[in-house]
Chain A
Amino acid sequence: MKTIVGLKQVPARDSLLRTDASGRWIDESDLAFEVNEPDAYALEAALQLKEKHGGEVVVLTVGPPRAAQSIREALAKGADRAIHIEEENLGRWDTLGIARLMARALETEKPDLILTGLQSDDLGYGQTGVVLAELLGLPHATIIMQVEKLDGAIRVKRELEEGWFESIEIPLPALVTVQSGIAKLRYATLMGIKKAKTKEIRRVPAAELVAAPAAAVEISRVYIPQKAKQTEILTGNAKEAAARLVERLKFGARVL
């Protein structure tokens, strides 16, 4: 079974974010980047399917050259090879544009299964996978907690709201967006890191795949949200702050 894993590189989770000079995106200059966490779970699910059923796991990333670091991490964990669609300025592309790039890059791949994380931790649109499925004419399912391979199909466990689930059978080829927590994430081994250096990363400039399309939606401004609630920040060292909080809870909120 050939599985493609859509993997995005995003700013590290605890980054301090500032807007850039244009006011339309963040200043990326001093940031550290990491693999988008839901995509890490998609990779894990793909690796586990490969261990059980054989085949190949191919990472597909759209991003600037720095994203190669995240691709190498995925290769070190056990992905077989990667396709890196290089684009310096991701902001020029909306979700549909990104999905079109991915669809073009996959034309010659003929995968059985495509896995992506259910959303990115930066933009959080939660739809690149679904749009890609539609462009490729594939059936899909979203927010998946389990993937089981059947003969020519998969059975997936889809999360619904408030603790409900449903089981869905989907013929292959198909696309599935993976929920965080589908399996325990592995670490790369030393051997894996060594092997990754010899694995193929095919680099394709975005402009070679699709002439930049007119975006259907665009971000006009990025800013720090205004507080909805007046929060009283309790200051002092840990002991002082704790004492102030207990006083508020006892006499103000009357919950102690």
Chain B
Amino acid sequence: MSILVILEQRAGVWNRMSFETLAAAAEMGRQLGQPVLAAVAGERAAVLAAEAAAYKIDTVFAVEHPLLARYTADAYTTALEQLIRRVNPELVLLPHTYRVRDFAPKLATRFGRVLVSDAIAHRIEDGRPVLVRQLFQGKLNADVRFASAPPNFASIQAGAYRADSLAPGAAAVESFAPDLAAGRIRTQPGEPFRESQRGVDLAAASIIVSVGRGIKEKDNIAVVEQLAQALGAELAASRPICDNGWLPMERQVGSSGQTVAPKLYLAVGISGAIQHLVGMKGSKTIVAINKDENAPIFEVADYGIVGDLFEVVPALVEEIRKAKG
């Protein structure tokens, strides 16, 4: 048996999460005494497979077919289903990207399995992997076991494993030609596009004040605007605030918005769902103000104030003004 990693690329460029997933597989492979295999599908698959072969992997499969040039769930699922039936791995690991979220549940269903999605860690128990994943937007963790015979499926959260731990190697590269028919691909995707040029480059800000659901209503945004002003900070928000139209989408921090790493990130009334944390956890100093002491934002905060933001923020504005003279 083996561990098969599905690497991801777009337009011939690696998604770096591919290598974090490879690192997860390498660790499990060592612990379970199983070889690690990898596969890359789509454009330039052969070239990319040759690049991946520089890591300690047994075999890298280049899954090549003209119908894989542009991603569709139908073509990717069928191609990978055929590869998995041929390789017969114990475990299939994928990076938890938006694309994987689109096709991997479908792929697992073809085998009567359930994808354990967005895993953040693993352990080996009785010679089998147990995966750790978050529940309730990060408030709780769960250990999840596979209850079925192989192959089993799991996807790995961004940043959960370190790609720089990968050992070099010289893998065999093998071409795999799936049997695909144009008539069985039902969706027609267009070219990816961006909505508009971004007016705000949050990544350039050295201090960011970010606001979440705790602000309760649009009129209260002024409360955090004052804090941003006092600090000379950019104002940002978590997704629900932008969904409600209280701040423009271009100010959103998180997986669907911008990724930032300022010197100081103040999260005000943000609970800290993983979609938000991935966009800001690289910040140098993180401050969280939240009324719920169990909010996941405190997991990543250096300093925390548990309290009502409508009392804390005005007091903080006053103290900052004093300190700045």
Query: Which residues of A line the B interface, CB within 8 A?
Result: 11, 13-14, 16-17, 19, 26, 94-96, 99, 118, 121-127, 130-131, 133-135, 139-143, 158-171, 179-181, 184, 214-225, 227-229, 231-234, 237-239, 241-243, 245-246, 248-250, 253, 255-256
Asked whether B193 lies within 8 Å of A164 as measured between CB atoms, the reply is yes
B314–chain A nearest beta-carbon distance, Å? 8
Contact among B117, B144, B187 with A168 in the assembled complex (CB-CB below 8 Å): B187
Task: Compute how far the CA of A127 lies from the CA of B135 in the bound complex, rounded to whole angstroms.
Answer: 14
Task: Compute how far the CA of A245 lies from the CA of B307 in the bound complex, rounded to whole angstroms.
Answer: 13
* Chain B residues, Cβ within 8 Å of A13: 213, 271
A219–chain B nearest beta-carbon distance, Å? 5
* Chain B residues, Cβ within 8 Å of A162: 256, 258-259
Contact among B137, B288, B306 with A124 in the assembled complex (CB-CB below 8 Å): B137
Task: Compute how far the CA of A238 lies from the CA of B122 in the bound complex, rounded to whole angstroms.
Answer: 40
Query: Which residues of B line the A interface, CB within 8 A?
Result: 73-74, 97-98, 101-106, 108-110, 112-118, 130, 133-148, 152, 186-195, 198, 207, 213, 231, 239-240, 242-245, 255-259, 263-264, 271, 284-285, 287-288, 292-294, 296, 298-308, 311-312, 314-316, 318-320, 322-324
Asked whether A181 lies within 8 Å of B97 as measured between CB atoms, the reply is no
| Leading 9 A-B pairs by shortest Cβ distance | A181-B243, A127-B105, A139-B186, A238-B311, A242-B315, A130-B105, A242-B316, A253-B285, A255-B264
Asked whether B142 lies within 8 Å of A140 as measured between CB atoms, the reply is no
* Chain A residues, Cβ within 8 Å of B148: 214, 216-217
Asked whether B140 lies within 8 Å of A224 as measured between CB atoms, the reply is yes
Task: Compute how far the CA of A134 lies from the CA of B73 in the bound complex, rounded to whole angstroms.
Answer: 11
* Chain B residues, Cβ within 8 Å of A127: 101, 104-105, 114-115, 117
Asked whether A242 lies within 8 Å of B109 as measured between CB atoms, the reply is no
Task: Compute how far the CA of A139 lies from the CA of B264 in the bound complex, rounded to whole angstroms.
Answer: 45
Query: What residue of chain B has the Cβ atom nearest to residue A213's Cβ?
Result: B112
Asked whether B324 lies within 8 Å of A163 as measured between CB atoms, the reply is no
* Chain A residues, Cβ within 8 Å of B305: 233-234, 241-242, 245
B250–chain A nearest beta-carbon distance, Å? 8
Contact among A142, A215, A238 with B102 in the assembled complex (CB-CB below 8 Å): A142
Contact among B113, B136, B320 with A216 in the assembled complex (CB-CB below 8 Å): B113
| 21 pairs of residues in contact across A and B, judged by CB atoms under 8 Å | A124-B117, A127-B104, A142-B102, A166-B190, A170-B186, A170-B188, A180-B239, A181-B243, A184-B245, A214-B148, A219-B142, A220-B143, A225-B296, A225-B299, A229-B302, A233-B293, A233-B304, A234-B303, A245-B316, A255-B207, A255-B284
Asked whether B258 lies within 8 Å of A163 as measured between CB atoms, the reply is yes
Asked whether A131 lies within 8 Å of B106 as measured between CB atoms, the reply is yes
Task: Compute how far the CA of A128 lies from the CA of B59 in the bound complex, rounded to whole angstroms.
Answer: 33
* Chain B residues, Cβ within 8 Å of A170: 186-188
* Chain B residues, Cβ within 8 Å of A160: 98, 192
* Chain B residues, Cβ within 8 Å of A239: 315, 318-319
Contact among A95, A122, A228, A237 with B135 in the assembled complex (CB-CB below 8 Å): A122
A145–chain B nearest beta-carbon distance, Å? 9
